[in-house]
Amino acid sequence: MKLRAIVGPTASGKTRMAVEVAQSLNRPVEIVSCDSMGVYRGLDIAADKPGADERGGVPHHLFDIADPSDDLTAVEYRTAARAVIADIDARGAVPLLVGGSGLWFRAVVDDLEFAPTSAEVRRRLEAIDTDELLATLREADPERAGAIDPRNRRRVVRAVEILELTGRPPSELRRQWDRRCGHYDLVCCGITWERSELFARAAARVRREVDRGLAREVVRVREAGLSRTATQALGVKEMVDYIDGRSTLPEAEERLVRNTKRFIRRQLSWFRADPRVEWVNLSQTGWDAGRARIAERFG
């Protein structure tokens, strides 16, 4: 089954590029969102969801499929995305996966095994001293124990949780993740800009979000309840601090710009580790030539 994808960092222009590429192809194309925040209803500004006019008549899928009070997992997203992709293909259209959520991208395109989680087990482990957890991990899985920064307690707890729930060394699961293989005929393009230009675009995006009423949106959504995942979303956590009086709005905006830049660095690191991503630097090609290059690869 053919699958086309456009990935890249926040503020690179993936949404607009995907619509323009879809419009330029001689086949019907439908876009499947790969945005871990776009799935949440009500987080329209924070997730920078495209409005009807920005979608250009191209069908979009997997926006607004969960309440912000829910913790939608990568496994649940994978199930939904693969079902939508199969349906698009069955109707003779081309599915185009678009987004910057690296984990969710791999969940769809690769046959990954996700370790189970247990809130009860995690609570019990979080009450145990880190050194004791590390000792347990070293005995059962010295490879993983040696790879984890002992100061990163969250990862230590997660590794021991996996060990307890699966009875298998966490390093075994990590090696499985190093294999990039799935059942799609995948062509994936990544778009980016020179670092200074990309960061300037990110700052401009944050300014637009604040001007559009990001804080008011967070107030509305928060009243109905926010899951741990939604609370940590870019734009939400910074506005919560402002709403609760822990910062001024300019301070919250400045922190959001800073956190967005950090997130962009992580996204670039994640996607650049994937040899299947064919990069298009729009600072070098220009927008129109970059779009033409992607359309040619997808054609």
Of 131, 160, 177, the one marking the end of a domain is 177
Pair 74, 192 in one domain: yes
> Given the DSSP bridges, would you call strands 29-33 and 60-61 parallel, antiparallel or unpaired?
parallel
- Measure CA 270 to chain center: 10
**Which whole number is the average pLDDT over 174-199?**
90
Pair 139, 245 in one domain: no
Residue type, 77: Y
SS3 label, residue 192: strand
Supply the mean pLDDT for the chain. Answer: 95
**Which whole number is the average pLDDT over 239-264?**
97
Count of structural domains within the chain: 2
Tell me what pLDDT residue 115 has.
82
Question: Are residues 193 and 283 in contact, defined by beta-carbon separation less than 8 angstroms?
Answer: yes
Pair 133, 234 in one domain: no
Residue type, 291: R
Pair 134, 22 in one domain: no
Q: Which two tokens stand for residue 253?
A: 């905006």
Q: Dihedral of the CA atoms 278, 281, 286, 292 (nearest 10)? A: 0
Pair 95, 27 in one domain: yes
Q: Where in the sequence is the domain holding 203, given as residue range(s)?
A: 2-110+180-298
Does residue 27 surpass a pLDDT of 80? yes
Q: Which two tokens stand for residue 215?
A: 């804080």
- 133/184 Cα distance (integer angstroms): 40
**Which whole number is the average pLDDT over 3-31?**
97
Pair 89, 194 in one domain: yes
Pair 29, 127 in one domain: no
Pair 24, 100 in one domain: yes
Pair 30, 129 in one domain: no
| CATH at 138 | 1.10.20
Pair 146, 24 in one domain: no
pLDDT tens profile 134-183: 999 999 999 999 999 999 998 999 999 999 999 999 888 777 777 787 88
Tell me what pLDDT residue 92 has.
97
Pair 75, 148 in one domain: no
Residues in contact with 152: Cβ distance below 8 Å, sequence separation at least 6, in sequence order: none
Of 162, 177, 192, the one marking the end of a domain is 177
Pair 78, 193 in one domain: yes
pLDDT tens profile 204-250: 999 999 999 999 999 999 998 999 889 889 999 999 999 999 999 99
Split at pLDDT 50, 70, 90, the class of 112 is confident
Of 131, 156, 177, the one marking the end of a domain is 177
How far CA 32 is from CA of 19, 38, 94, 130, 209, in Å, comes to 11, 11, 10, 41, 23
282 vs 174, which has greater pLDDT? 282
CB-count burial class (<10 Å; 0-12, 13-18, 19+) for 26: exposed
